[in-house]
Structure 1
């Protein structure tokens, strides 16, 4: 049988957290135009939503 959902969410959380750190570094780069910044902000928003979903799932497992 496959891995349990909790371990998958924990791994995804690690990956998405790293992606968020990289995205934040890119957002601090002053060389990007407004279109690139908007795309990065959209990506950051998606990452934060994913991380929030993972946190909610993991918290619900311990209740």
Structure 2
């Protein structure tokens, strides 16, 4: 990762859980289908995110 991406990632980790989830929700749709991320992986991310939002699963705390 570039220094800028490392900095951005570190700053994102400082956000509250709800803000990090919102960031993920906003980033996922920007990934083009031909990117290296498989559709199944994206579906799993969305499934887990929905579990956290519904309270079925706890959000990770750091």
- Shared fold per TM-score greater than 0.5: no
TM-score, normalised via structure 2 length: 0.41
- Highest RCO, 1 vs 2 (Cα 8 Å, sep ≥ 6): 1
Larger Rg: 1
TM-score, normalised via structure 1 length: 0.41
